[in-house]
Amino acid sequence: MRLFTLAIALATALTSLPAAAASAAPAPAAATELVVNGTFTNGTAPWWNSANTTMTTDAGRLRVGVSGGTANPWDAMVAQNDIPLAQGKTYTLSFDASASTNVSAVTTVQLGDAPYTNTLTQPISLSPTSKRFSFPFTSTLTTSAGQVTFQLGGGAAHTFYLDNVSLTEAGGSSSSPIELTDGFYVDPESNPARWVGDNGGDYRAGRIEAAIASKPMARWFGNWNPDISAAVSSYVSGAAAAGKLPVLVAYNIPGRDACGGHSGGGAGSVDAYKAWISAFASAIGDRPAVVIIEPDSLGDFECMDDNQKRDRVGMLRYATEQFRDKAPNTWAYLDAANAGWFGDRPGQMAERLLEVGVSNVRGFAVNVSNYYTTSESAAYASAVNAALGGTAKWVIDTSRNGNGSNGEWCNPAGRRLGTPAQVGGPGGTEMLLWVKVPGDSDGECGIAPTTPAGQFSPDIAIRLIDGV
């Protein structure tokens, strides 16, 4: 049974979490932030610059003019001193950076006095497009005189831009992106929001805006994003600026939709996928997020040969490791199909989840892009979790399950919108989310025989609003 479609849709609006749900558990300690004024909202202090640089703020970023003709990276740099470090403790250095032209630089975390011992030395490639960088490391130093540097010399003259710098202790990092934010986030560029913006005079626009476009839903990322780092970083940056929790879907596994649905494609090779998913996780960095990993990827094993299965397992395990290691404030969930597909074999799904490293991430997601009721989905998820030993968490896609499933998966008639995004749900469900974008077609089928997968249809949207 097929599950989902190519949802290229974006998503938007700001919605607060229900107070009761948000306060159901005590807030864990927030990450210990060791960098001061990393957003440069208070000018440049306490950052300092060396010779061969000038430093000011520009549109909320640090702007650094870098002279050409220097011999070494450290001949032109900006830095912050008095960073406390402890040997053996794990930290993550994250920041947004760009330059006026393509150049190389080096960022370090080091002793601020001679002999300037480095505990992190990381070359970075900069371009005019701002990217999110995130580098976990374990300190080899114990000092109260640590230093974070951006070493910019050794190349042609250029302008360097820096923003959202953080250095956090992994030991103090919050395990809950919910507690680090105030409600779910979507942006105003979702497919339904853009349709409303372009068709304000249409009699359906007001209803679609109120019922769909103003609700939080996931943004899907895949091979339609030419620069995955920039795309993810931009989206998560928007959510972080608003203090909201973004939901993202990673959807680029090679051989995607292997059982013959409408959403085939994906990365061109195993190595290409690993580079893509690593960049995805790095682009989130230490900012809070929820990520659904590769819808359908564990359900369609029966449509692959042994070599394809082996590659799929390796790629998914690698993905879980990347989110574990590079995105410490992200809750990531592997896709675990739906109640109609695996409802009679939850143990088999649990075996697949274990094989691909579910213990590396928060848990799993069910009902992505499908229609099974929340109660059916929760019962299925609970059975999968029991087979896992009760150690995982799960979320449910409720975007289109208001009337349940009629057994069809591709644009069936008579379906209805489900419960909008919220924390908590029946049977121990961690979150209810709109993962699929309501109104986006499942493919050229059902009530939308000429609408390609991922394209928004106001007719589908109105049917979901009315349940017809």
Q: Tell me: the pLDDT tens digits for 401-417? A: 999 999 999 999 999 99
Q: pLDDT-derived band of residue 153, with 50, 70 and 90 as boundaries? A: very high
Pairwise CA distance, residues 17 & 80, whole Å: 36
- Asked if the model's pLDDT at residue 31 lies above 70, the reply is no
pLDDT of residue 11: 35
Which pLDDT band, with edges at 50, 70 and 90, does 29 fall under? very low
**pLDDT band, very low/low/confident/very high, at 263 (cuts 50, 70, 90):** low
Query: Cβ neighbours of residue 237 under 8 Å, at least 6 residues apart?
Result: 96, 132, 164, 287
Angle among Cα 275, 277, 280 to the nearest 5 degrees reads: 110
For the stretch 194-239, pLDDT in tens is 999 999 999 999 999 999 999 999 999 999 999 999 999 999 989 9
Which residue among the candidates 96, 163, 187, 257 is catalytic per the annotation? 257
Which residues neighbour 107 within 8 Å (Cβ) at sequence distance 6 or greater? 93, 95, 120, 122, 124, 133, 135, 148, 149, 150, 151
The pTM assigned to this predicted structure is: 0.69
Contact between 247 and 184 (Cβ < 8 Å)? yes
Helix ranges, 294-449 (H): 306-326, 339-342, 346-355, 374-387
**pLDDT exceeds 70 at position 134:** yes
Average pLDDT, integer, range 108-123: 92
The stretch 305-311 carries a mean pLDDT of 94
Catalytic site residue 257? yes
Q: Which listed residue (96, 296, 300, 440) is catalytic?
A: 296
Mean pLDDT of 389-395: 93
Average pLDDT across the chain, whole number: 89
Condensed to tens digits (0 to 9), the pLDDT of residues 47-101 reads 999 999 999 999 889 999 999 999 999 999 999 999 999 887 888 899 999 999 9
Note the pLDDT of residue 414: 98
Contact criterion met (CB below 8 Å) for 402 and 467: yes
The lowest-confidence range among 112-116, 152-156, 223-227 is 112-116
Half-sphere exposure (Cβ direction) of 367: Cα atoms closer than 13 Å: 30
Q: What residues have CB less than 8 Å from 411, skipping those under 6 apart?
A: 441, 442, 443, 445, 446, 447, 448, 451, 460
> Does residue 173 register a pLDDT over 70?
no
296 carries an active-site annotation: yes
Please give the helix or strand (H or E) that residue 217 lies within, else none.
Answer: none
Q: Of the candidates 63, 32, 33, which has an alpha carbon nearest to the alpha carbon of residue 47?
A: 63
